[in-house]
Homo-oligomer: A and B are copies of this chain.
Amino acid sequence: MDGKPLRVTIWNEFRHEKANPEVAALYPDGMHEALAAPLRAAGHDVRTATLDDPEHGLTEEVLAGTDVLLWWGHRHHRDVDDAVVDRVWKRVLDGMGLIPLHSSHFSKIFVRLMGTTCHLKHRVAGERERLWLVARGHPIAEGIPEHFDLQPEEMYGEPFDIPPPEELVFVSWFQGGEVFRSGCCYTRGQGRIFYFRPGHESYPTYHHPTVQRVIANAVRWAAPRDVAPRQFGRSAPLEPI
């Protein structure tokens, strides 16, 4: 492992796995545990949190002790408490990395950080997705081939109503004829955000080694820097006026 271990929190809605046997078969311990395993194996200090935990598992203490937060939500975005969203938002601006996955494009936290609707096209048809790397030298590209396929995957298509990514790492090709900006980097305050498209709950996407590698790279990329807090507000002159 290049670099020190990070404190990673993986947040999962964790309701599909309980309600849908097909999802449970793929992710018997929840998607969060599938996401956690390779990060633990890489030496990171990983904990998990879910929607139905008290405060959704994201207390002030948990967030204060989190370097990078992964987020997977889908049907129940509205059940996430606004006070918790506000708390996460502040931590991102203070430097915590955030990695919203797949249907988390519609999560309250991502929508708030983007300032747009984050709408898109979608289709569940078991089709092939091919992710093309368009930023070959990016830290998130390390060890990733020029393209890799996922099949089956859900289609997400343009238009994707996000601000133009500051760095665009992946563009997806879909068998049904669409394209999608699938790996998008942003900075907000001192925090770094990487939206990564793949991961429909009824497909085994998070067991795919290349997907796991992308996420591991993104965790490293999104890690907070050792910086002093920013100083705002009324300010005395530094030079004579």
* A residues whose Cβ falls under 8 Å from a Cβ of B: 2-4, 93, 95, 112-117, 119-123, 125-127, 130, 132-139, 141-147, 155, 157-161, 163-164, 166-168, 171-179, 181, 186-192, 224-228, 230-239, 241
Are A122 and B161 in touch, CB under 8 angstroms?
no
Are B158 and A186 in touch, CB under 8 angstroms?
no
* Cβ contact of A227, chosen from B120, B121, B137, cutoff 8 A: B137
Are B239 and A137 in touch, CB under 8 angstroms?
no
Residues of B within 8 A of A121 (CB): 231-235
Total identical chains: 4
Measured CB to CB, the closest approach of chain B to A100, in angstroms, equals: 13
A191 and B95 alpha carbons, distance in the complex (Å): 26
Main secondary structure of the interface of A (DSSP, over half): loop
Are A123 and B238 in touch, CB under 8 angstroms?
no
Residues of B within 8 A of A137 (CB): 95, 187, 189-192, 224-225, 227
Are B163 and A187 in touch, CB under 8 angstroms?
yes
Between-chain CB contacts (< 8 Å), 20 pairs: A112-B115, A113-B115, A115-B188, A119-B230, A123-B234, A126-B241, A127-B237, A127-B241, A134-B159, A143-B226, A146-B231, A155-B235, A161-B232, A171-B171, A173-B178, A176-B238, A177-B237, A177-B238, A177-B239, A178-B235
**Most-contacted residue by chain B among A113, A123, A163, A167 (CB, 10 A):** A163
Measured CB to CB, the closest approach of chain B to A229, in angstroms, equals: 9
Are B146 and A230 in touch, CB under 8 angstroms?
yes
* Cβ contact of A237, chosen from B133, B143, B176, B238, cutoff 8 A: B176
Are B226 and A93 in touch, CB under 8 angstroms?
no
A232 and B178 alpha carbons, distance in the complex (Å): 13
Are A132 and B158 in touch, CB under 8 angstroms?
yes
Residues of B within 8 A of A146 (CB): 158-159, 228, 230-231
A93 and B161 alpha carbons, distance in the complex (Å): 9
Measured CB to CB, the closest approach of chain B to A120, in angstroms, equals: 6
Which B residue sits closest to A136, measured CB to CB?
B190
Are B241 and A189 in touch, CB under 8 angstroms?
no
